[in-house]
Amino acid sequence: MNSGDKLNGLSAIKVMIVTVVLIFNVSIVMAEVNWQDNPVGAVFAREGGVCPEGTFRLKSGGYEVYTIVSADKSYQPASLYYGVNDVDKQKVDSMVPDGKVPTSMNCFVVKTDNGYIMFDTGLPSSKGGKTLDRLASLNITPDEIKAVYITHGHFDHIGGLLDDDGKAVYNDAKLYVPLAELTFMRETMKEATALIESAYSGRLVSFETGNLLEDNVLPIAAKGHTPGHTVYRLGNILFVGDLMHGPALQLIDPSICAGYDADRNQAIISRNTILSYSVANSLTVLGAHIPVNGVLF
């Protein structure tokens, strides 16, 4: 056995161990969650009443966080999780017999001492995105957003950065994009990336993960879904982007992948690593595709 085989073997063992740990640590959380039956507005109330439709409010660690449901999407087909050559079909079908996997499409806004910051932007209004309308329902204007942190370059995360004329939506915001992801975007979506870089010229910040950014935001590498996919920690809150698309499946078995994951093996490793990190540090975890309110646990 060569050193590469040994490393792969150790990695596989590590993933298995982490998966077992996660099942024990998160099973109680799973038992208390019912994503399908949770009515909009019932989870996180604003002062004085229920949040406007498609928004939820959470106070955690001194921060006020708003989940913005950026597009109304409740389910994904189970077939999205079958894997190459339907390797996981039988397992997935047994877990969701009706063929529907609960999902959502979220971005997040946080009120800090320095103003509002945002994690991903959702789809543009012209493609069915409701981010701006739902920000308005919270009395938040785009110009109040002081920073936008991007987890990765897929359209449902960056589409809301530009208006229909290719101009910046968030005129006073710095735009933070992981260097590895920006490189990937420049290679695979040249025109769209060039438009974003032009619109946010002088305000776009690329960075290496692992170093604290402004607003006390810590970026943590979580590649696999895309080469530069990144999660962000703010205090005891972790914004995990597309680490997980269908928690009804993947929180029970993190080895199940959505078809969107570019590198299946690396996505599994990242999912196990970040979930274990979250449990070990008692973090509140929010994700772009976690129904209904974006909170995983």
149: which 2 tokens?
């942190």
pLDDT digits (tens, 9 = 90+) for 190-228: 999 999 999 999 999 999 999 999 899 999 999 999 999
Q: Quote the Cα angle for 23-91-247, to 5°.
A: 50
Of the listed ranges 6-20, 135-149, 231-245, 277-291, the least confidently predicted one is 6-20
**pLDDT over 90 for what percent of the chain?**
65
DSSP string, 114-134: TEEEEE-----GGGT--HHHH
Sheet holding 217-221, edge to edge: 217-221, 230-234, 237-239, 284-286
- Segment 103-111 mean pLDDT: 93
Three-class SS of residue 259? Answer: coil
Q: Is the pLDDT of residue 33 over 60?
A: no
4: which 2 tokens?
């590469």
- Domains defined along the chain, listed by start: 3-286 (3.60.15.10)
Number of residues in the chain = 297
**0.85 surpassed by pTM:** no
The Cα 226–Cα 204 span in angstroms is 20
Closest residue by Cα to residue 150 from 211, 59, 217, 72: 217
Indicate the average pLDDT of the chain.
83
Count of other CB atoms within 10 angstroms of residue 90:
10
DSSP code for 51: P
